[in-house]
Amino acid sequence: MPKQKRFWVGLLVSLVLLVFVFYQTDPSKIWDSLQQAQYIYLLPALALYFIGVGVRAARWHFLLRALKPIPTRALFPPVVIGYMANDILPARMGEIVRAYVLGRQENVSKAATLVTIVVERIFDGLTMLTFIVAGSFVLNFADAELTARLRLVGALFSAAIVALALFAGMPRRVERLADFFIQRVPSEALRARAAALTHSLLAGLGVLRSPADSCAVYALSILAWLFETGMYVVIAWGFDIVLPLPVFLVACAFANLVTIAPSTPGYVGVFDAPVIYVLTTFGIEPNLATSYTLVLHAALILPVTLLGIFYVWRAGLSLTQMTRA
């Protein structure tokens, strides 16, 4: 039942945002824009995107280094598989699938690996807010209250990282505190499992014990998202959309923050609506903004999904097997 509720809530959110996307647009004009677009720009755009995925694999190397030093080239396929699973499975299961695939291939703790992905997502959120706050200074957003709220959320993400770093920096104290409560659990099996989870949690937070590694993760997060933003810019050239880079930084950040909301697999609606909103706010005609966003969304989903399916096949896995596991 909870899974069914998540599905229907996500479907409802996607439908509502799709109504927003296509409200006051003319399908014939969208089609005309799609026909007139220069799709040759997709080639350099996809090159930028997959370079960004490679940077994310390098970032994961730093996040995992406290568990096991795994080469970036070995991390690239699990990252792609995770993206693929997020695009076709509900409830952002790609994060769990990625942890499962890496744990199976590299014999590392799946729970600790999942903790590194949580930390990665916090850095992603901080990066997105960095883009928005930087854009707010350059573009002079009219809504001062919204800008203030975004800066507050950015401060909260920073505080979350600092809190986790403090947590990770006191492993013995945390283990003693956890053991105090674990010993009061009546079941020996549950005590053993709770102790193992505590150990996995602390191991997954290992990157935060090193200021140098933490700074490297943040720098690589910014670099990865800059490459993805470059994809937004290059595809826009194919639609004769020319806007300052900060506009695309804000569009990328806004869209990826909104995808936290429940939606259908592939982030239908929750990705498109924010991008269109930002573009139209800065003067792009709604039909042109919608046609551009549809192509951008397809370029973000289809190639990485196909490559992820290839990696799943090459690893001898199946989606059913991974989902059950």
What is the reported pLDDT for 200? Answer: 61
Q: Rounded distance, CA 211 to CA 197, Å?
A: 24
Contacts of 102 (CB under 8 A, 6+ apart): 70, 75, 78, 108, 110, 113
Tens of pLDDT along 105-154?
A: 888 888 888 888 888 888 888 888 888 877 777 776 555 665 666 667 66
CB 230 within 8 A of CB 271: no
Lowest mean pLDDT among 10-14, 20-24, 140-144, 148-152: 140-144
User: Each residue of 176-207: b (16+ CB within 10 Å) or e?
Assistant: eebeeebeeeeeeeebeebbebbbbbbbbbbb
The whole-model pTM stands at 0.84
- Note the pLDDT tens digit of each residue in 201-241: 666 666 777 788 888 888 999 999 999 999 999 999 999 99
